[in-house]
Chains A and B, each alone.
Chain A
């Protein structure tokens, strides 16, 4: 089959999206749902079908020219290579499961056509990012993803703060896109092309200083999309959207787009050590920040949101440490168990009568169907990094990479990584205990969970638990298949002496145990005070929102006011009005001169006559004197 069929992978969801949006409402609900799920399912099948196209250099498919003017020539081109294939499979696979789940979750919502349309459009945009051959098509997907998350977060638009959350998400990601845009423009002016492979090939020719700045720009762009430190405020509020949205966008796919961008541009950014340290530093700080915030969150989905932010921080650390395979490994496993956790959270919310606050839930273990507890536990175990689970191996690989990195400062990042791992374990089990253990606190009457919501959870649980097989370290007899699969793009091959690895694995196990015990002691045994100043501080995400509001929104509003009222109203219009009033005033002056009395006019004649007479005499005298 020719490679242009590759375009079917992203275009199928697009087609379904368009169909849903235009005719969704008019057609029966079942039709809309089936087209949505079928679209994504077939693209998953196609990815598997085309799997061997991605071996080695991968295949490049071109649809047609998009923009061509002067030296710029950008085409709609896809590159299906070793890095893109697993990512595409993950995106389409998880998306299919989430679509199925969404059919159940959104059962009673009337506006299903718009929902499924936007969801499919999102999958299309995400696939364009993953499969993009040149940066402009990637940018197209990049903004498309931002738009869909805006639409989906603000899906229940009747509540204004949902819309506000959507706008906030779109704005913050767009700020990130600015840096990505500038990097894009700079790269084009440096290398004369936008295709990723050529840029990476010419990366060596760019001067080091410029590479550092470019890396920072790309980092900031990635931070915008992956909710890392400077631009992270939008992720927590993004939970206003329906749970399948949170599961798909804010767990599995969109937040990892930033990591994917860095992996794609790895040959370029790996040239600057400063850039790599910056990436690791941002990753570490965000991981720590998010983990601390997750400790104090009251809503189940916000806990998971902050945990996602923290895990993506780990992926940034992995890229910073040089292992693209480590980052991708964690990205894939994280996608599985985090999507699982979000969906399970959706079921929990349903069970607790649409109650989000975990302090108002409890004792669900008894009332919920048994497998929900096991499924949730499976996800939690992966997240916490309990040994032998997928999460454990991927996180451990990253910590190993950090530890074995040449630069001593990475030992500091390793330490931050360990602390964050501890906190992660603590808040995960805190979540489990508060939701499932203890006596029921909430008063909401439980909804029954439809079949579609329960069924997709199982495959994800399995994938999460068995995720380790993807890139099992040599120590444990694994073949590090992902690392070899990525080949050239895999980055640094992390090797360490056996006892060092055993030491680190031991440390990881201890961390998880300590975390579990602390959570058990804190929420099962000790009934201490709940609310202190620090918890409120952490609850507000270190009051980041207020900081942003103070530092950026208020001055922006002031400048906008100044520009409109200050400049336009008073300065420009002011000068015009002054000119106009001056004209009227001088007109008035002349008006007063015409008194209407005959004598003043005659006097004017006389003065005029006198003047003429005087002038005549002057000339006469002049000429008289002349000869």
Chain B
């Protein structure tokens, strides 16, 4: 199956964006070398991930690709990367979204090299998280991911960007510190019991923990992931971070940062602490449901489009977590597919918002009206992606949502029925948005030009992807079968 020659692909996936970032930082600001450089790097990475997807798309039990090397031998920390079906999809998503992000941030002039360097650094962090199977390595990339995001929001963001960036950073940091404490506690406990001090995920799973210990450590990890997903009580940083984030930055924030939280749960929190997971699933389910409803209602009253889609992401993540909490194979595959589709749909919408903002200078719903009259193509695509995120059958999110709902209904009928009701509220705020922005008489600033070729280049592939994922998601579901079976089988 491994058509690709024996090159350490995973390390390549991490180091390429890193080198790209460094080179971008050094590029001169005046000519657009940094833009072309960033584009080249992200394009190469995307091609690599497509190659991996083609050759390993059929999925398989265990790690599709595994790389391992000694890092800090003294404490048993190893540089080990592993890719299974789930991380393959997420890596593909990361590469694709970053390519889109670079294209979307083409008009950025102010400190462009620094911006693109940070963007690529963010990609390194994300790739690392999705591939690392050594807990310290995971933690390192978890932190690496924070810094570029913090700077991007803090420097290139909207009006109150500093508060938003600070709030985002402190929230994420608090979470990761809780994770660090739990990580070290686990490391020591494992060391006492087995004598071998190591951070490898596989070994740490073997530690025998009493239930209270397990619950404590589990909550430490879950705090970090719950903040990043974000689960309801910890979600208030996301709307601010979104409202103030720069156009391409928002694509990443929506698309991937949220998914790292969910991925963390799937890869680390659940397998490490099976008993605690079984104990916490109902709570997770209820929180997910409240998040689903709370965010959908909250989104209805928003006036800023970006903030509205922040709430929409929280609502979708609520649905994803509900799927996870159902602990059923269809629900899990639905959640992971929904992660993919939601990232693309909301990402595309954020790019569109940036375009609207460029043309009209505002992204407040009440100041915008009658976009269809002025820019029909832009509005048509906006409508398409809005309907996709609404969960219209035949478009991307529906496939994920219906799988989650069907799977959840098997184990928790009441939850699933409530979730179906919540989907109506999603329709409510999306339609209110669409009506406010697209329909209605032409008013406010005149839009002079419709979509430029560059914008077509960004949006058309995403539109095709959204429709393809809606009608034929099989190629994206097959790699998931074994890993999900493994993750579910291993615990309750």
- In the bound complex, residues from chain B placing their C-beta under 8 Å from that of A158 are 370, 373, 440-442
Report A96 CB to chain B, min CB distance, Å.
24
CA distance A381 to B421 in the complex (A): 43
Whether B298 contacts A564 by the Cβ 8 Å rule is yes
Report B101 CB to chain A, min CB distance, Å.
27
Whether A189 contacts B399 by the Cβ 8 Å rule is no
Contact with B along A130-173 (1 / 0, CB 8 A): 00000010011011100100100010011110111011001100
CA distance A576 to B234 in the complex (A): 10
* Given contact pairs A140-B393, A560-B300, A572 touches B333 in the complex (Cβ within 8 A): no
Whether B393 contacts A163 by the Cβ 8 Å rule is no
Q: Say what secondary structure dominates the interface of chain A.
A: helix
CB closest residue in chain B, given A168: B431
CA distance A311 to B329 in the complex (A): 46
Give residues 292-338 of B contacting A (CB, 8 Å).
Answer: 294, 297-298, 300-302, 328-330, 333-334
Contact sample, A vs B, 20 pairs, CB 8 Å cutoff:
A21-B380, A65-B474, A67-B473, A69-B333, A69-B477, A70-B329, A72-B330, A136-B393, A144-B394, A157-B438, A158-B441, A171-B427, A177-B424, A182-B420, A186-B413, A188-B409, A189-B413, A559-B297, A568-B235, A572-B235
* Given contact pairs A69-B403, A188-B409, A572-B233, A560 touches B301 in the complex (Cβ within 8 A): yes
Give residues 177-221 of A contacting B (CB, 8 Å).
Answer: 177-178, 181-182, 185-186, 188-189
Please tell me which one of the listed residues B373, B405, B477, B481 contacts residue A185 in the complex, with CB atoms under 8 A apart.
B405
Residues of B within 8 A of A (CB): 167, 233-236, 239, 294, 297-298, 300-302, 328-330, 333-334, 370, 372-373, 380, 387, 392-394, 398-399, 402-403, 405-407, 409-410, 413, 416-417, 420-421, 423-424, 427-428, 431-432, 434-435, 438-442, 471-474, 477, 480-481
* Given contact pairs A140-B393, A188-B409, A563-B297, A174 touches B438 in the complex (Cβ within 8 A): no
Whether A140 contacts B239 by the Cβ 8 Å rule is no
- In the bound complex, residues from chain B placing their C-beta under 8 Å from that of A507 are none
Given A160-B435, A182-B416; 6 other pairs, CB 8 A cutoff: A150-B431, A171-B424, A174-B427, A185-B417, A572-B234, A572-B236
Please tell me which one of the listed residues A69, A150, A175, A189 contacts residue B409 in the complex, with CB atoms under 8 A apart.
A189
Residues of A within 8 A of B (CB): 21, 64-72, 136, 139-140, 142-144, 147, 150, 154, 157-160, 162-164, 166-167, 170-171, 174-175, 177-178, 181-182, 185-186, 188-189, 556-557, 559-565, 567-568, 572-573, 576
Whether B301 contacts A564 by the Cβ 8 Å rule is yes
- In the bound complex, residues from chain B placing their C-beta under 8 Å from that of A143 are 392-394, 398
- In the bound complex, residues from chain B placing their C-beta under 8 Å from that of A560 are 297-298, 300-301
Whether A160 contacts B439 by the Cβ 8 Å rule is yes
CA distance A175 to B427 in the complex (A): 9
Whether B236 contacts A568 by the Cβ 8 Å rule is yes
CA distance A142 to B329 in the complex (A): 27
- In the bound complex, residues from chain B placing their C-beta under 8 Å from that of A559 are 297
Whether A72 contacts B431 by the Cβ 8 Å rule is no
Whether A556 contacts B428 by the Cβ 8 Å rule is yes
Please tell me which one of the listed residues A21, A65, A159, A181 contacts residue B423 in the complex, with CB atoms under 8 A apart.
A181
- In the bound complex, residues from chain B placing their C-beta under 8 Å from that of A159 are 441
Q: Say what secondary structure dominates the interface of chain B.
A: helix
Whether A573 contacts B442 by the Cβ 8 Å rule is no
Whether B393 contacts A185 by the Cβ 8 Å rule is no
- In the bound complex, residues from chain A placing their C-beta under 8 Å from that of B424 are 171, 174-175, 177-178
Whether A557 contacts B406 by the Cβ 8 Å rule is no
Q: Which of B392, B431, B471, B474 has the most CB of A within 10 A?
A: B431
* Given contact pairs A175-B424, A189-B409, A568-B236, A136 touches B297 in the complex (Cβ within 8 A): no
Please tell me which one of the listed residues B302, B370, B477 contacts residue A564 in the complex, with CB atoms under 8 A apart.
B302
* Given contact pairs A67-B399, A573-B236, A557 touches B301 in the complex (Cβ within 8 A): yes
Whether B410 contacts A189 by the Cβ 8 Å rule is yes
Whether B330 contacts A69 by the Cβ 8 Å rule is yes
CA distance A568 to B471 in the complex (A): 37
CA distance A460 to B438 in the complex (A): 37
CA distance A177 to B301 in the complex (A): 24
Whether B297 contacts A70 by the Cβ 8 Å rule is no
- In the bound complex, residues from chain A placing their C-beta under 8 Å from that of B441 are 158-160
CA distance A188 to B442 in the complex (A): 47
CA distance A71 to B402 in the complex (A): 14
Whether A167 contacts B409 by the Cβ 8 Å rule is no
* Given contact pairs A158-B440, A174-B427, A568-B239, A167 touches B435 in the complex (Cβ within 8 A): yes
CA distance A174 to B391 in the complex (A): 11
- In the bound complex, residues from chain A placing their C-beta under 8 Å from that of B480 are 69
Q: Which 6 A/B pairs are nearest by Cβ-Cβ distance?
A: A163-B439, A560-B300, A70-B330, A563-B297, A70-B329, A157-B439
Whether B472 contacts A64 by the Cβ 8 Å rule is yes
Report A154 CB to chain B, min CB distance, Å.
6
Whether B477 contacts A186 by the Cβ 8 Å rule is no
CB closest residue in chain A, given B373: A158
